[in-house]
């Protein structure tokens, strides 16, 4: 019998729980926290390991295999977009950049009206307040805005564009700049540091090293899950309720692989991922963008929560040496020349509030298959966003801004940057990445157009719940982690009433 606490699966296991939660990221941790606090017997399964912050080496080749699905190599099926997703106790909250922002009220109202969820804005507002308190969410201090972000701010303000500070969930941050490789200083107030230890203290069990492959069900009702350890040993869990919190790719893939009835084809549909492209720029004075908090400022000039004509979120971004080398255009001497000025490099990203929609399916082992292509309108918006990012960097004083097309766009004037908006974005050119999958099991009152109801219950089966970014009815146009925490909390509170 496995008692309360964190345990790593080493051999075959047969376990029982009132509720089993698949995944320990923001949503799963928040749900488990509420369940354990109410005295419900809850078991959390995590495919990764429990990582000690002191072991985070701040080296890309070591940390990416430890903290990212597929060692950071997960992509859409056509290979056009890299999809970065986390693993380990805490999920993607281990490697994310700690941005905390609520969904804009206009978009919440759209979700409420379009999806038949009139109580959602009020319920989410209460959940946001609780989560923000739990995670110590607050503004990034002015003294911690690094030079890369300062330059971005200066450029946006010089253009007269809408811009402003961001909030985060860090306490004790020393500005090492290695957030995406895991915080060695344990300054992230995340699922791993706050919610899961609190759930365990209340009686929850967390078992790591288990990859769940199937939801077990009988007569349309969940009876548990089945999976394997890293060594291939079988793991079987008997449970009255199953909560899927394996991400907007992992949760629908599990449902597809489990053979559950999906009469209206909503499982895995309506996937959004916030695809983004990066623009680099060289400055005469050193930038040292790898130092300090990576993201603390945003520009919303081209972003509106419900206006499809404004679908680009602009913000600073930076990469460590390996990631930067992979993104910089050119070959041989030209590439070396750019990388040799790493210290003088600044960067910004254009991230789509995407209206493009993909679909998640599964291979025979239940692993996610991500079908997603950027549609024509989003491609045009991406070109506009990349050009705008270049404008910001040039307005901040950059010598040159570079959009990494196969034939790089080297821009030195505002006119050149504006004209870059007319350059076609094509598949694989420029390279795009996504860190915010959402929407593949979206909420709604009507099972013909949604996979789950407003409480996170799967429409097509009983006693299956979803508590991750899959629930979102659309792209959020901003960092989704706070909303995932809030939705997980709401699902946990709803499940307490029936578990």
Question: What does residue 329 show for φ and ψ, rounded to 5 degrees?
Answer: -80, 170
Two structure tokens written together for 133: 């308190």
Q: Using CA atoms, how far apart are residues 64 and 51, in angstroms rounded to an integer?
A: 13
Contact assessment for residue 414 and residue 442, using Cβ atoms and an 8 Å cutoff:
no
**Which residue of the set 95, 320, 353, 436 is catalytic?**
436
Give per-residue burial for 216-243: e unless 16+ CB within 10 Å, then b: bbeeeebbbbebbbeeeeebebebbbbb
Per the DSSP assignment, residues forming a β-bridge with 44 are 21, 206
Give per-residue burial for 104-121: e unless 16+ CB within 10 Å, then b: beebbebbbeebbbeebe
Q: Using CA atoms, how far apart are residues 103 and 375, in angstroms rounded to an integer?
A: 24
Residue corresponding to tokens 């080296």:
59
Contact assessment for residue 21 and residue 43, using Cβ atoms and an 8 Å cutoff:
yes
Question: What does residue 142 show for φ and ψ, rounded to 5 degrees?
Answer: -55, -40
* Residue closest to 85 by CA, chosen among 97, 102, 70, 98: 70
Q: Using CA atoms, how far apart are residues 250 and 70, in angstroms rounded to an integer?
A: 13
Give per-residue burial for 127-157: e unless 16+ CB within 10 Å, then b: bbebbbebbebeebeeebbbbbbbbbbbbbe
436 given a catalytic annotation: yes
Residue corresponding to tokens 């072991």:
55
Contact assessment for residue 268 and residue 490, using Cβ atoms and an 8 Å cutoff:
no
DSSP 397: T
DSSP code per residue over 214-245? EEEEETTEEEEEEEEETT--EEEEEEEEEEE-
Beta-strand relationship, 138-139 and 167-168? antiparallel
Contact assessment for residue 383 and residue 423, using Cβ atoms and an 8 Å cutoff:
yes
Contact assessment for residue 115 and residue 473, using Cβ atoms and an 8 Å cutoff:
yes
* Active site residue ranges: 436
């Amino acid at each position: 019998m496995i008692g309360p606490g964190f345990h790593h699966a080493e051999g075959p296991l047969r376990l029982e729980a009132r509720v089993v939660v698949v995944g320990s990221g923001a949503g799963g941790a928040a749900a488990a926290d509420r369940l354990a606090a109410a005295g419900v017997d809850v078991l959390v399964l995590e495919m990764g390991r429990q990582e000690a912050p002191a072991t985070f080496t701040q080296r890309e080749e070591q940390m990416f295999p430890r903290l990212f699905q597929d060692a950071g190599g997960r992509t859409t099926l056509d290979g056009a977009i890299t999809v970065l997703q986390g693993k380990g106790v805490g999920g993607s909250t281990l490697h994310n950049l700690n941005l905390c922002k609520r969904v804009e009220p206009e978009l919440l109202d759209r979700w409420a009206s379009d999806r038949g969820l009139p109580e959602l804005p009020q319920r989410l507002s209460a959940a946001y307040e609780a989560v923000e308190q739990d995670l110590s969410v607050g503004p990034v201090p002015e003294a911690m805005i690094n030079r890369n972000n300062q330059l971005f701010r200066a450029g946006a303000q010089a253009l007269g564009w809408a811009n402003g500070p961001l909030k985060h969930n860090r306490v004790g941050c020393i500005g090492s700049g290695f957030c995406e490789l895991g915080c060695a200083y344990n300054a992230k107030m995340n699922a791993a540091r706050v919610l899961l230890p609190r759930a365990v203290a209340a009686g929850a069990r967390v078992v790591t090293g288990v990859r769940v492959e199937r939801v077990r069900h009988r007569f349309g009702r969940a009876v548990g899950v089945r999976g394997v350890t890293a060594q291939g040993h079988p793991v079987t869990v008997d449970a009255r309720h199953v909560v899927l919190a394996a991400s907007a790719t992992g949760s629908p893939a599990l449902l597809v692989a489990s053979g559950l009835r999906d009469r209206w084809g909503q499982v895995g549909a309506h996937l959004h991922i916030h695809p983004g492209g990066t623009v680099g720029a060289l400055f005469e004075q050193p930038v040292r963008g790898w130092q300090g908090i990576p993201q603390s400022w945003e520009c919303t000039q081209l972003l509106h929560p419900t206006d499809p004509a404004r679908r680009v979120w602009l913000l600073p971004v930076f990469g460590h040496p390996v990631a930067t080398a992979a993104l910089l255009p050119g070959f041989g001497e030209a590439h070396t020349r750019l990388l040799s000025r790493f210290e003088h490099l600044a960067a910004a990203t254009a991230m789509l509030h995407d209206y493009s929609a993909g679909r998640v399916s599964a291979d025979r082992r239940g692993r996610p298959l991500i079908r997603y292509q950027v549609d024509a309108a989003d491609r045009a918006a991406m070109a506009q966003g990349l050009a705008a990012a270049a404008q910001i960097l040039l307005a901040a004083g950059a010598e040159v801004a570079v959009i990494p097309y196969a034939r790089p766009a080297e821009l030195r004037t505002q006119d050149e940057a504006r004209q870059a908006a007319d350059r076609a974005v094509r598949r694989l050119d420029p390279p795009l990445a996504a860190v915010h999958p959402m929407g593949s099991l979206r909420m709604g009152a009507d099972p013909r157009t949604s996979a789950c109801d407003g409480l996170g219950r799967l429409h097509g089966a009983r006693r299956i719940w979803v508590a991750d970014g899959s629930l979102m009815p659309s792209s959020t146009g901003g960092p989704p982690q706070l909303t995932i925490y809030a939705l997980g909390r709401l699902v946990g509170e709803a499940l307490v009433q029936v578990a």
